[in-house]
């Protein structure tokens, strides 16, 4: 069965969303665009060729050009030249929606600035899939992508996001998920509701709900594999009043300098840096006896 139609496409840049697991999660329009574009560009040309093969989309003599974070500056002029000649260019990242924690931003921005048609064949994205199934409030959400790898930078980033009145959504690697949940419990509060969604649309899909504290316990006992989205619900109204500044500072001082600990806790509590720094100095002195 052929699911695609080859039809003339207007000149322009077509961002195409591709599956995040199950290969059949691709729209008919995405297949039409991939079958019809003059030029295909992809973050990973091998994955793209495999996808075309699975769906019986013939490539013919059309070029498949690699475009990713490491060669973007070099390859973009070539793609822009095709667009300037009036060609249609389809771009897909390795999985999911391009630009969403994936390459494509610079290409789209410059194409728009040059007056080129920029459009998309929307489809899968792990952030939307996770929001859909996790059972946390969906009226407002803040997609924060990947947190920094370094512990202090990660804790600072969490502190900055902590008071945003929206469900927070993060992409995370299985290697770091336990440490990330622990930092989130320390900085945002152990009792915040959260969810870990893993392997979405794949055979071992799961979504584990709990407080940050219970999720830390669960994920410290498991060896975790696969792809992960972490969601954390917003701070309960009035909860910042219950923030135990002293306890948070003591915990932070176990792994951080006085300056870093006061930075993180002042952001998390919304209290002035100076005041928190003075308290941190006193606690540190007491700690060191």
What are the beta bridge partners of residue 264?
none
Q: Cα(159)–Cα(166) distance, rounded to whole angstroms?
A: 14
How is residue 37 written in tokens? 């574009």
One residue of 120, 126, 157, 187 binding ligand SAM per CB under 6 A? 126
Q: Cα(287)–Cα(289) distance, rounded to whole angstroms?
A: 5
**Percent of the chain as helix, strand, coil, to the nearest 5:** 40, 20, 40
Stretch that binds ligand SAM, among 6-14, 45-53, 148-156, 193-201 (CB under 6 A): 193-201
SS3 state of residue 144: strand
Q: Cα(129)–Cα(136) distance, rounded to whole angstroms?
A: 12
SS3 state of residue 86: coil
Q: How far is the CB of 18 from ligand SAM (least distance, A)?
A: 9
Stretch that binds ligand SAM, among 8-16, 156-164, 187-195, 227-235 (CB under 6 A): 227-235
One residue of 106, 199, 218, 284 binding ligand SAM per CB under 6 A? 199
Q: Nearest to residue 97, comparing CAs of 105, 86, 89?
A: 105
Q: How far is the CB of 84 from ligand SAM (least distance, A)?
A: 27
One residue of 13, 16, 20, 83 binding ligand SAM per CB under 6 A? 20
Hey, which residues between 90 and 119 contact ligand SAM (CB under 6 A)?
93, 95-97, 100-102
Q: How far is the CB of 26 from ligand SAM (least distance, A)?
A: 13
Count of residues in contact with ligand SAM, rule CB under 6 A: 24
SS3 state of residue 18: strand
The residue of the chain with the least Cβ separation from ligand SAM equals 96
Q: How far is the CB of 125 from ligand SAM (least distance, A)?
A: 3
Q: Cα(100)–Cα(207) distance, rounded to whole angstroms?
A: 21
Q: Which residues bind ligand SAM (CB under 6 A)?
A: 20-21, 93, 95-97, 100-102, 125-127, 171-173, 197-202, 227-229
């Amino acid at each position: 069965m052929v699911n695609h139609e080859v039809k003339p496409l207007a000149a322009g840049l077509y961002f195409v969303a591709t599956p995040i697991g199950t290969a059949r999660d691709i729209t008919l329009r995405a297949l039409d665009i991939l079958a019809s574009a003059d030029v295909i560009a992809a973050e990973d040309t091998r994955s793209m060729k495999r996808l075309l093969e699975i769906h019986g989309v013939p490539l013919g003599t059309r070029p498949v050009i690699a475009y990713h974070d490491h060669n973007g500056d070099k390859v973009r002029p070539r793609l822009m030249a095709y667009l300037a000649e009036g060609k249609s260019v389809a771009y897909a990242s390795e999985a999911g929606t391009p630009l969403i924690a994936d390459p494509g931003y610079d290409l789209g921005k410059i194409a728009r600035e040059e007056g080129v048609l920029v459009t998309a064949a929307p489809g899968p994205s792990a952030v939307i899939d996770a929001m859909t199934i996790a059972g946390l409030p969906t009226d407002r959400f803040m997609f924060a992508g990947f947190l920094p790898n370094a512990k202090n930078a990660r804790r600072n980033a969490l502190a900055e996001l902590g008071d945003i009145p929206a469900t927070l959504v993060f992409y995370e690697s299985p290697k770091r998920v336990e440490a990330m949940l622990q930092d989130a419990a320390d900085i945002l509060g152990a009792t915040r509701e959260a969810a870990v969604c893993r392997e979405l649309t794949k055979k071992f899909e799961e979504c584990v709900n709990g407080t940050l504290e219970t999720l830390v316990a669960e994920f410290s006992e498991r060896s975790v594999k696969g792809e992960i989205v972490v969601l954390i619900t917003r701070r309960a109204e009035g909860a910042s009043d219950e923030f135990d500044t002293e306890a948070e500072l003591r915990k932070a001082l176990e792994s951080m300098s006085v300056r870093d600990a006061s930075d993180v806790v002042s952001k998390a509590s919304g209290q002035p840096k100076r005041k928190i720094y003075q308290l941190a100095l006193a606690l540190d002195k007491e700690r060191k006896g």
